[in-house]
Amino acid sequence: MSFFSGSPSPNDIDNWVCVLEANTDLEVEMAQNYLSNLKIPSNILSKRDSAYSLNVGEMALVYLYVPVEFEKKARKALAKLEHEEPDFSYDEENNGDTGDQGKED
């Protein structure tokens, strides 16, 4: 059952395009930080109803917008981020030990 007549959609904002839609601020903020590191400007539009502290459903949508001229670059970067596996490797020879443990100053 939907409380709205249609599915909620991002607002149309002149010269900006929505590149990410999520239910948590954290997810969108992490994506915004990633784009920022790539020098891609972005803004967040949150439609979350903070009075109810919801993070699922139609009353909890958060959108990430970029300028139209950065849309292709932003979508490519976000797709790459989503499909890459994080590198949790460490120095296996030392079992991750940096050699600093147990040393006295």
Cα–Cα distance for residue pair 15/70, rounded to 1 Å: 10
CATH of domain 19-82: 3.30.70
- Tell me the mean pLDDT in the region 1-25: 75
- Tell me the mean pLDDT in the region 44-57: 71
Neighbours of 21 (CB within 10 A): 16
Q: First CA to last CA across the chain, in angstroms? A: 65
pLDDT value of position 63:
92
Q: What is the mean pLDDT of the chain?
A: 77
Percent over 70 (pLDDT), the chain: 61
pLDDT by residue (tens digit) across 52-82?
A: 666 666 667 889 999 999 999 999 999 988 8
**pTM, 2 dp:** 0.68
List beta partners, residue 45. 63
pLDDT value of position 33:
93
pLDDT value of position 43:
95
